[in-house]
Amino acid sequence: MIYCLFLIYEPVNLDKSLLRLNRLLTLGGRKAQIIVINNGPQRQQVSRENVEVIQGDNRCFEFSGWEAGKQYIEKHYCLKSDDTFCFVNDTFDKNHYFSWLTVLLYHRKLKQAIKQYQGFILGRVDTRNIAYKVDHLAFTDWVSSYFFIVDYTAYQALVFTNPRLTDAVTEVTDESINFDSSVVDSAMQEHINGWLRPEGKGWYRAHTSNNDVIKNKSIAILHEKYLSAMLIAKDIALVHVYRGRFGRIVRKFDKRIQDYRVAKQS
């Protein structure tokens, strides 16, 4: 069984997203159970056999929402050691393009990871030649949190929220983001400022966002990095879905399609 915890806020086409998710999850004959975690203000109803909707928790954005979903399935389902778990937020179908090539790539990489590792997280792995530290955990690689899959061993090791990260953003101005240096090292501070308070064009048009939005995005980025750092510290393997020549071709193809979609909407 593969359990999918799908975190939503206000998706425009929830039925379409669920259809795409279900096709991906059930490829190869797997059984899938999708838990839609509603972190948005609107009530959501879904009439699909293998889909449940629960209320989320937005204290730490998608990370506290996933934590609520994790607690829910542990309470209501009998989990097994050969189960896998997929964590998704609603940007997977909004800010990214999942072609059938990507679906097949995930399917193939998941089968390989199950055979090769006891304890893995599969997704898009970002790598820097810089050692970062978040809450004293060192790392150079992390998995993008919009879509990732873990086996049962890694699932048990997941830590989604850390109150020290929420309190680590001490001040946000129009020019910079300041952090508690005992929690976030200088390299990670520079990394986040480079994304959200750059001199030129920033991530997700961040340079135009107000200070409260920037603070929330900073906290979310810290939790994303901490998620991977904690797994690395527990000897969980980070498996890059796009590793290899074919993976690079697929990623480039999907990015071109997504860029076209964005250009068409603007």
Model confidence pLDDT, tens digit, residues 177-207: 999 999 999 999 999 999 898 875 555 444 4
Contacts of 138 (CB under 8 A, 6+ apart): 131, 132, 229
- Predicted confidence (pLDDT) per residue in 104-128, tens digit: 899 999 999 999 999 999 999 999 9
Q: Is 94 exposed, middle or buried (0-12, 13-18, 19+ CB in 10 A)?
A: middle
- For the question of whether the overall pTM of this predicted structure is more than 0.85, the answer is yes
Residue 81 has pLDDT above 70, yes or no: yes
**pLDDT attached to residue 250:** 83
Q: Phi then psi for 211, rounded to 5 degrees?
A: -65, -35
